[in-house]
């Protein structure tokens, strides 16, 4: 995948290991969003949650991708995804798909089309790998993300539910 210039304001490109510190900043903002909304599930960590080694392995993998949005030399957004195959469960169709693990745009850069561009790049990558769909998980509190995904044509496929007992 080559650098893709999506506007005069930013560039979408594959991540490099030299991007680690800036990637960590975007992941941290994304992680804090979840920790603030669901403290019973997530907690705040100020150190780097993803190791340099895990990022490097993802960058070097043929089945994983990390793309960044860069604006004036600063990484302002990212998306990471994995090429997967469904397990062989009786009664379920085997399929090859792309799992979107994370997408995050720094808050001050939202609304510029960066998220749409990152999603389009992952969808194109997915098609190149012979997948016919992308899947993701989104928490119910994240109504902005739900609206964003629905605008892009994503539909609910299942619902995870819970009940607090104490």
For residue range 119-146, list pLDDT tens digits in order: 999 999 999 999 999 999 999 999 999 9
Residue 164 confidence (pLDDT) above 80: yes
As a whole number of Å, the end-to-end CA separation of the chain is: 50
What mean pLDDT do residues 149-161 have? 95
pTM of the model: 0.89
Q: Is 26 exposed, middle or buried (0-12, 13-18, 19+ CB in 10 A)?
A: buried
Q: pLDDT grade, residue 7 (50/70/90)?
A: low
pLDDT on residue 45: 81
Rounded Cα distance between 49 and 110, Å, is: 23
Average pLDDT along the chain: 91
Convert the pLDDT of each residue in 65-86 to its tens digit: 999 999 999 999 999 999 999 8
pLDDT tens, position by position, 98-119: 999 999 999 999 999 999 999 9
Tokens of 89: 């469960």
pLDDT recorded at residue 1: 52
């Amino acid at each position: 995948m080559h650098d893709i210039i999506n506007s005069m304001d930013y560039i979408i490109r594959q991540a490099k290991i030299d991007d680690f510190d800036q990637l960590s900043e975007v992941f941290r903002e994304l992680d804090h969003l979840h920790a603030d909304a669901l403290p019973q599930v997530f907690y705040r960590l100020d150190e780097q949650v993803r190791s340099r080694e895990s990022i490097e392995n993802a960058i070097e993998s043929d089945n994983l991708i990390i793309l960044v949005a860069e604006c004036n030399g600063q990484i302002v957004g990212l998306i990471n995804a994995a090429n997967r195959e469904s397990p062989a469960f009786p009664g379920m169709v085997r399929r090859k798909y792309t799992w979107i693990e994370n997408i995050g745009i720094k808050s001050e850069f939202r609304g510029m089309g960066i998220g749409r561009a990152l999603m389009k790049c992952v969808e194109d990558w997915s098609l190149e790998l012979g997948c016919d769909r992308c899947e993701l998980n989104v928490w119910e509190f994240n109504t902005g993300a739900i609206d964003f995904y629905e605008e892009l044509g994503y539909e609910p496929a299942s619902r995870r539910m819970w009940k607090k007992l104490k």
